[in-house]
Amino acid sequence: MGHKLTPFITGETIRERIDVLGREIVQSYENNEEPLVCICVLKGAFLFFSDLIRRVDRPMEVDFVRLASYGSATSRSEDVIFSKDLEVPIEGKDVLVIEDIVDTGHSMDFLLHVLKRRNPKSLKICALIDKHERRETGVQVDFAGFNLSEGFIVGYGLDYAERYRELDGIYELSTDAGK
């Protein structure tokens, strides 16, 4: 069985949207002189994170977290654990979590609860892809690159079994049963 990749969002369109997101984020925090703590959720958000923080023209600190779901390999798990925690303290600071995709919201809900216990001044989410129609939790994305309702997508950090992250654009992945 092979995979078919259908172009969905071009690299150029992503870069243009990131420019706009960068300006929106700067405007949102314009009355605060303190550094913004930008947190990258690994692995999927690393390309988006790298491009986005270069468009956010303001002082910042950066850090990384990695979440892991555990449970049956054949079903989506709502059980989430940290496999890499923050190193930067966030108490009393404005925090922006940067994620590749927020779908059902379970992982992000877990992360937000953990971060809120650390008493940040504010806590917002920026996601490259917001699948808000699939949300099963109350998680709200504050800055969304693109709103999608369906389709399995890869590229620009998003993967399927650790493949396709390196693609410049975003592609819809489908199974090509004929191969």
Residues acting as catalytic residues: 103
User: DSSP secondary-structure letter at 52?
Assistant: H
- Classify burial at 85, counting beta carbons within 10 Å of its beta carbon; exposed 0-12, middle 13-18, buried 19 or more: exposed
Residues paired with residue 19 on neighbouring β-strands, in sequence order: none
Count other C-beta atoms under 10 Å from residue 44's C-beta: 20
| Residue from 53, 43, 51, 57 nearest 169 by CA | 51
Q: Determine the distance from the C-alpha atom of residue 6 to the mean position of all C-alpha atoms in its chain, rounded to a whole number.
A: 22
CB 98 within 8 A of CB 52: yes
CB 128 within 8 A of CB 146: yes
Q: Report the distance separating Cα 132 and Cα 104, nearest Å.
A: 8
